Chains A and B, each alone.
Chain A
Amino acid sequence: DAKTTQPTSMDCAEGRAANLPCNHSTISGNEYVYWYRQIHSQGPQYIIHGLKNNETNEMASLIITEDRKSSTLILPHATLRDTAVYYCIVTYRGSTLGRLYFGRGTQLTVWP
């Protein structure tokens, strides 16, 4: 079921930008890229999603390559509270079959 590949772990200095990559080379034309994160044992938290264009919200920016085979989540100014497992998920939107497949994710550690 794995449609995405992410590095197992990354670290980042507090205040710096965290850039989390994701490969999704088999993404289909109408599948979206979603990012969620999970802070230890809490419920997964929605961050951002996109289809083709780059997206930005109050939490992060999402850069999707033109061929849509990869994307990068950017946390512009990482804080200690951003330490979490980040999941890149490819799925359909607007249907009743919107299950999320959580792959291995990237453990991001932000250090002071």
Chain B
Amino acid sequence: QLQLQESGPGLVKPSETLSLTCTVSDGSISSSRYYWGWIRQPPGKGLEWIGTIYYSGSTYYNPSLKSRVTISVDTSKNRFSLKLSSVTAADTAVYYCARQVGTTSDYWGQGTLVTVSS
């Protein structure tokens, strides 16, 4: 059974860079069938797609975040990562990583809460 696990700091200071990693277990991130994405959810609010990466390194980003987002993949470690720069309190959210078939997310990590605060 495929598993995804987010990891990274739970607290980030304003103006700094949020960095998260998603480690994939019991499945290969190099499969040509899948994409790998990041989605976030501010407390009490809805879902917002951040971006998606293919194992080859091709990326797709939410236009509203594009200037601040970088998603990368490390196939040797079977993981992919998110960096979001210049964070503010509005970036406080639960961050999920997910496997995507096309653009549908069929496996999700449990999510990790990242709080932006000084």
Judge: A and B partners, yes or no. Answer: no
List chain A positions with a Cβ less than 8 A from chain B. none
